[in-house]
Each structure stands twice: as structure tokens, then as C-alpha cells.
Amino acid sequence: MKYSNGFVIKELLITAAVILGLFALAFPAYRDYMRRDYYKSVVEATTPFKIAVGKCFKKLKTFTGCNAGRYTIPSAIKTPQGALASLTVTNGVITAVPVAQDGILAADIYVLTPQIVNDELTWTPSGDGLAHGYTG
């Protein structure tokens, strides 16, 4: 009867290959998750502006003039704050620019356009961040 004294190099190489294969499959999914999570903070930063634009519309009965810093709409963000490089509101349209990080580019903007549908305010998202699947 023959006894083994440990692992054979072939077994170690097979184990390493399996681990590397799993890593190769998991890494892209993890990277995408991190990008979406980072971009989520850009999307969430628009919430107080959306609420304020809704109030502005109720007061003016139009989106024209619903700009950052007017009619209870917060002032535009011009210096980076967290994941947000800048945020502007012009005639109700909210444009958020992310700080370039984790594969997110400054060009991956998030734009929210207000519309009144059946007497309700709805928001239509657009921009490169949406096109790249960072938000839904």
C-alpha cells in the first residue's frame, strides 16, 4: 500500500486554475456593482432638487424660471461634494455631473427632465450614465 505525503504539484495547479477562473468571472460583476453603487449617490443627490422643482411648478404653473437658487430650489452645486462634481437646474431640468472615479467619467451625466402627465409631475431620466446602465 502506498501512502501520500502531501499535495502533488498538479493538484495545486488545478486548484489555482479553478480559483483564478472564478475570480475572472466574478471581477467584472463586482466592478459593475461598484460603479452602480457609486453612481447611485449622484442620482440620490437630485432628490431635494426634484421636490423643489415640483413646488416651483405649482407656484408658477410652468417650468420656465424654475432655476437653481430661485423659488425654494437649492443653489447650484459648483464644487465637488462626494460623488457629485456639479448640479444645475435650468427651467426645471436637473443636470448632475459625477466626479470621475471607479470607471465613471465626468461625461456620464445624469439629466432629469420634468413633464406633466395627467396632472402629475413625472421625471424622464437621460444622459450617458443611464446609457451605460449605471442607473435605471
Which structural domain range is residue 69 located in? 9-131
Instruction: Note whether residue 37 is domain-resident.
Output: yes
Calpha distance 83→76 (Å, rounded):
15
Residue 126, SS3?
strand
CATH code where residue 55 lies: 3.30.700.10
Q: Is residue 87 part of a domain?
A: yes
Q: Give pTM, 2 decimals.
A: 0.79
Query: How many domains does one find in the chain?
Result: 1
Domain assignment present for 13: yes
Cell 447611485 -> residue:
40
CA–CA distance, 102 with 85 (Å, rounded to integer): 14
Amino acid at 89: V
Judge whether 2 lies within some domain: no
Print pLDDT tens along the chain (136 aa): 666 666 678 888 888 899 998 888 888 888 888 888 888 999 999 999 999 999 999 999 999 999 999 988 999 999 999 889 999 999 999 999 999 988 888 899 999 999 998 888 999 999 998 888 887 6
Residue 75 domain flag: yes
